[in-house]
Amino acid sequence: MSNSYKFLAHETFRENIEAFLRKYPEHKHSLFANLERSRSNPFSGKPMHSLKEKLRQKVYRLWIGGPKDFRFIYYVDKKNYCVLGIYVTLIPRPEFSYDNDEWLDNLENIVGDLEKQDYDKFEKLNTGRAAKSI
Amino acid sequence: MENAENNSMNTISKETFKKLFLLYTVGKFNKGVFGKKRLQKIVYIIERESEIKPFEFKKYLYGQFSESMDDMQDYLLSMGYLIASPLKTTSSDHSGNLFELADKKLIQYYSSFMENINAKLIKRIDTIINNYGYLPESELTKIAYAFSEFALAGWDSILFKEELPNRIAIKNIDEDDIEELEISLNPRFINLINRMDNVFEQDEFDPQKVKKVVELI
């Protein structure tokens, strides 16, 4: 059995990336390439060393577009070989504040449905073919 | 402190700065902080000598007190960045809890940001902690009560207000590191990511049971 990672997306994350694509269609390639990168090489993102030790190798960031453009944040579950999309920022980083509640409302939806084990709210995203086809 | 709202220098939000300031201050007490009241008084002394005032202070029954700093300290405790343990002493001078950084190595990390925000401020913090940080509580209280602005103020009156711009300039630190600081010091994010992690660590959610597969196009 292959141990390749799966990309798991909550419906909120799907809506998040759809909103991103409506706003920035020119970044479609970069978005798909980075979603695929997070799945195929999850630990290649930027880690967060200042988090508590048990979270340090679980939360990563990648740039969409280029540095200072848009952030894609994801969580890696090593045990189950899965990557879970958390958020893609909808405004460029210099203007985006992480004190903004909107991205955390999205995360709250995701976490709430994980806790409720609401499997219907999640889907496995096939990111590979899309990334190659553009 | 440079207000960076109108230039292109990298910045951190004032809420992030407040947490950073408090973590740095606690971290500079090399034996930990002996009690909440002591921390309140030390921060008060730092702020009264500085143009940078992260927290508003009022005159309360037990001296100078900042409710917003108290809330921030609670956030940092619940986020797991600070730890509290009962003080092991019978002396009335050291009652209550001992507060420390949960990960003491992070003081270097916090220092690197503080130095690049305002080097004078960190010198002032270090000096004040050296001079007052471990004075007997009765002596520290006497000093704090003797400040003229405190002695002359009425109960519950504001001794000084918070004075910080919304965004604070930071030199020589790249965007990735600033971003990491902002994310990792956001209490709501920390709470949610811990909950997410617990779900997976405790096998409460089995990704194999997700049946829907979607082709990204």
B64 part of a folded domain: yes
**Two structure tokens written together for B163:** 């004075």
**pLDDT over 90 percentage in chain A:** 76
B145 part of a folded domain: yes
Instruction: Write down the pLDDT at residue B18.
Output: 97
State the first-to-last Cα distance of chain A, in angstroms, to the nearest integer.
29
Range of the domain at B48: 11-197
Q: Taking a C-beta distance cutoff of 8 angstroms, is the pair A7, A79 a contact?
A: no
Do B175 and A68 lie within an 8 Å CB cutoff? yes
**Two structure tokens written together for A14:** 């799907």
**Rounded Cα–Cα distance for residues B171 and B55 (Å):** 23
B91 part of a folded domain: yes
pLDDT at A58 over 90: yes
- Give the DSSP letter of residue A129: H
ipTM above 0.90, yes or no: yes
Domains and CATH numbers, chain A: 6-133 (3.30.2310.20)
B39 part of a folded domain: yes
B121 part of a folded domain: yes
B6 part of a folded domain: no
Mutate to test the interface with A, among B103, B114, B181, B193 (most CBs of A within 10 A): B193
- CA of A28 vs chain B CAs: smallest distance (Å): 10
Do B216 and A77 lie within an 8 Å CB cutoff? no
**Residue B98 phi/psi, 5° resolution?**
-95, 130
Tens digit of pLDDT for each residue in A81-99? Answer: 999 999 999 999 878 888 8
B2 part of a folded domain: no
The pTM of this model reads 0.86
B84 part of a folded domain: yes
pLDDT at B186 over 50: yes
Residues of A with CB below 8 A from B109's CB? 49-50
Nearest of B140, B25, B22, B26 to residue B71 by alpha carbon: B22
- Give chain B's domain count: 1
**Two structure tokens written together for B177:** 């590191």
State the first-to-last Cα distance of chain B, in angstroms, to the nearest integer.
48
Tens digit of pLDDT for each residue in B35-93? Answer: 999 999 999 999 998 989 999 999 998 899 999 999 999 999 998 899 999 987 656 55
Instruction: Write down the pLDDT at residue A101.
Output: 86
Which residues are paired to B34 by β-bridges? B98
Do A51 and B106 lie within an 8 Å CB cutoff? no
Pick the more confident residue, A3 or B84. B84
Which residues are paired to A61 by β-bridges? A46, A73
